[in-house]
Structure 1
Amino acid sequence: MQWDVKEAKKYARAGQLEAWIDSYLRQKDWQNIEMAEGLKKAPRIWEGPVLVSLKDIVRHCGPEETMDYKIRPDWWEHTITNMATGFSAPETLPPLILQRVDSVLHARDGNHRIAAAQLKGWEELWALVWMNT
C-alpha cells in the first residue's frame, strides 16, 4: 500500500477510505496508533482527499506556547527542515488528517508536514477531513 494522495483517492473511490486511514496510521513511518484507535470509537463522515489552504488549518502541535502538544523549538526546526528537504510535491505526501469543528479545520495528523510545507513556500496540501456524526 502507498501513503500518497493517489492511493488515498483510489481507496476513497472504492468506499474504503477508513481502511486506508487505519492502515496508514498503523504503519511504521507515519505511525499514530492512538489516533487509529480513537477514530474507531465513533462513526465519522469523511471528505477527501481535497486540497486545503494551509492558512485555513489550526495546528495543535509545535513550539508555540498555545499548542496542545508543545515541541522543543530546536527539535521542531530540525525536524521540519529535514522533512521539507525531502518533499518533492504535495501529492507525493500522505494527506493530512483534519477534523472540521463548526467551520474550523483542526490538524489531527500532519502538523509537522504543514510546517515543512510552509517552509517550502507551499500554500496548499491534500487532506482527509472528518466530521463527527
Structure 2
Amino acid sequence: MTAPYFQVDRTYTDNNGYRAPEITTYFHVEHITAHPERGHLRAIGWSKSGAPGAKWNGDYRDEVDGWTELSSPLIPSEPLVVRRVDCAVEPALEDEDPELLVCCVAEDGRPVALLLDDETRAKLHGWLGGGQ
C-alpha cells in the first residue's frame, strides 16, 4: 500500500527485491519533520539493504515516490508507557479545533503530551467510569 507520505513507526521498501535482495532497500521511519524555511517534509529513520546480515544505518528521505509500505514493520515499536499525569490544560473557548492537553511523564522520564479532542475525551470518560 502506498501512503501520501511516510508514516512514523512504519517500514517501507523500494521494491527492487524482485531481482536480488541485496539491491532492495528498507527504510523504517522514526520521525517526520518539516524544513523550517521551505516547509518540505523529511522522514528520518533507519535503512538497510535486504542482503542477509545487513545492518541498520541512520538515513533520511524527502520523497515518498517509489516506496511501498510493508504490511508489518521490520523494527517493532514498543508502546510508550505513561505512569504519571501532572496536569491538564483545557482548550481556549475560541479554539477552532479544541483539544485537551494532558501533561504526562513516561516511565523513562520523557515528557509526553496527550492531545484529546472532544470525541476522544468522551470515550475516555466512559472507559474510566464517568458515564455511570
TM-score range, shorter chain: under 0.3
- TM-score with structure 1 setting the length: 0.27
Query: Greater helix share, 1 or 2?
Result: 1
Query: Greater strand share, 1 or 2?
Result: 2
- TM-score with structure 2 setting the length: 0.27
Kindly indicate whether structure 1 or structure 2 has the higher relative contact order, using CA contacts under 8 Å at least 6 residues apart.
Answer: 1
Over alpha carbons, which structure has the higher Rg? 2
